[in-house]
């Protein structure tokens, strides 16, 4: 089987962002024993994305696209796929309601405070999956979150937790990749805040 990777985004062509997604996907394909002979970068242009997709489908058995899936006007990957496949885009009222419910939960201050309280009870990364997640269970999402610290040590010997960094995604998200990323980011922020706090005390 041959699988091609297409990365969408003008920022990739301009060198503003390094295309680490394609590198990781290529690595995972190789580990799975799947040949990947082509990787393409294309800007945010409907005609060029469609052309890349059609070429990829002619010479490969499968195509993976990354990028161009956000909410801004230049995120047109969905439209390009629909044009190539000859189908219309369909809005799912049920999915729209889940997204609306998720944003309502995130905008409720008491829910965010509760999330931080849950994180404070245990060290390191916390994972709340689907229905096990008392805060976001009704949305069908999972949360991977880790606290970041700053300031002087508390009586417990830990620095004061001042916030949390997390990723909210589907229950079948790539936990093996997300968990180390969240943990590393929280540690980096803690170090930066700790350094800033020491500078202020001098």
Q: Helix count (H) and strand count (E) of the chain? A: 7, 6
Answer yes or no: do 51 and 144 share one domain.
no
Cα dist. 114→69, 109, 117, 178, 184 in Å?
Answer: 31, 9, 5, 22, 23
Please say whether the beta carbons of 39 and 60 come within 8 A: no
Q: Are the CB atoms for 51 and 18 separated by under 8 Å?
A: no
In a shared domain, residues 51 and 109? no
The size of the chain, in residues, is 202
Say if residue 81 is in the same domain as residue 122.
no
If asked whether residues 39 and 121 sit together in one domain, one would say: no
- By the 8 A CB rule, do 138 and 123 touch? no
Answer with the residue of higher pLDDT: 114 or 175. 175
Range of the domain at 68: 3-85
pLDDT at 42: 95
Q: Are residues 14 and 78 in the same domain?
A: yes
Task: Say if residue 193 is in the same domain as residue 103.
Answer: yes
Query: Is the pTM for the entire model greater than 0.95?
Result: no
100 lies in the same domain as 191: yes
Residues 150 and 167 in one domain: yes
Q: Is the pLDDT of residue 200 over 50?
A: no
Looking at residue 130, what is its pLDDT? 62
């Amino acid at each position: 089987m041959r699988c091609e990777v297409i990365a969408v985004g003008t920022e990739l062509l301009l060198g503003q962002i390094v295309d680490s997604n394609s590198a990781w996907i290529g690595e995972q394909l190789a580990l799975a024993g799947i040949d990947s002979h082509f990787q393409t970068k294309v800007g945010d242009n409907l005609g060029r994305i469609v052309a890349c997709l059609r070429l990829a489908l002619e010479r490969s058995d499968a195509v993976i696209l990354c990028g161009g899936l956000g909410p801004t006007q230049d995120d047109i990957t969905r439209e390009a796929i629909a044009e190539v496949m000859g189908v219309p885009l369909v809005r799912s009222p049920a999915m729209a309601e889940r997204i609306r419910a998720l944003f309502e939960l995130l905008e409720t201050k008491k829910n965010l405070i509760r999330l931080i309280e849950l994180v404070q009870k245990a060290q390191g990364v916390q994972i709340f999956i689907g229905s096990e997640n008392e805060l976001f269970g009704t949305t069908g999402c999972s949360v991977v979150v880790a606290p970041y610290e700053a300031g002087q040590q508390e009586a417990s010997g830990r620095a004061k937790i001042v916030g949390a960094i997390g990723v909210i995604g589907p229950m079948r998200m790539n936990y093996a990749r997300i968990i180390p990323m969240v943990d590393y980011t929280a540690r980096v922020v803690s170090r930066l805040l700790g350094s800033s706090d020491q500078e202020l005390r001098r």
